[in-house]
Amino acid sequence: MKKIKQITRPLKMMRGYTLVETAVALSIMGSMLLSVNMFMQPITDLWSLKVFQDDSQQESRLAMLRLMRELNQIKDPSSVTIAESQRIQFQNAANQTITYRLDGTQILRNNRTIAKNVGEFTLSYYNKDHGALASPQVNPASTDIYRISATVRTDQAGRSVTARSQVRPRNLFG
């Protein structure tokens, strides 16, 4: 019996946490976590926006660069066969027929997607006097296009990124 008292005595001297103390500690910890979450939420939203803008901007930029580079290589004034506000078809210096067009929310180059989530793809055409052309002359006649401008807007999750550029194709009008 003496041994039992020796074992139980240290247990009686040790104190544990009461239910009230545990509940108070949990409520303080919960309040701290809620405060941290309220502070971190705007930061994660900002980070998500930045990632989206970078991805959309990169996609818009790459599509625009490719379009402008190829428009600059239009073979000659009679090689433009279609010139519409959302579609253009022409031959390049290597006699390849190239078509850019908007299909739903994608920009297609010869039926291959080069940009997704596109909200706007607009081509505008201008003559030598910098006047806008509503319906430019195309093949079989020589085109009267002197300058082409393009706008690409990508939309995703309620946010948008717009890229604009223009080119004066080097083989049109010398």
Alpha helices in the chain (DSSP H): 2-13, 19-71
Q: Is the residue at 2 inside a domain?
A: no
Model pTM? 0.68
Total domain count, the chain: 1
Radius of gyration for the alpha carbons in the chain, expressed in angstroms and rounded: 33
Domain that holds residue 98: 58-167
Q: How many CB atoms lie within 10 A of CB 82?
A: 14
Q: Tokens for 135?
A: 């319906």
Asked, for residue 32, whether it belongs to a domain, the answer is no
Return the closest-CA partner of residue 145 out of 129, 165, 161, 163: 129
**33: in domain:** no
**Residue 43 resides in a domain:** no
Q: What is the pLDDT of residues 47-59, one digit of tens each?
A: 776 766 677 677 7
In degrees to the nearest 10, what's the CA dihedral of 127, 131, 137, 138? 60
Indicate whether 23 belongs to any domain: no
SS3 174: coil
Q: What is the pLDDT of residues 103-147, one digit of tens each?
A: 999 999 999 999 988 999 999 999 999 999 988 988 888 889 999
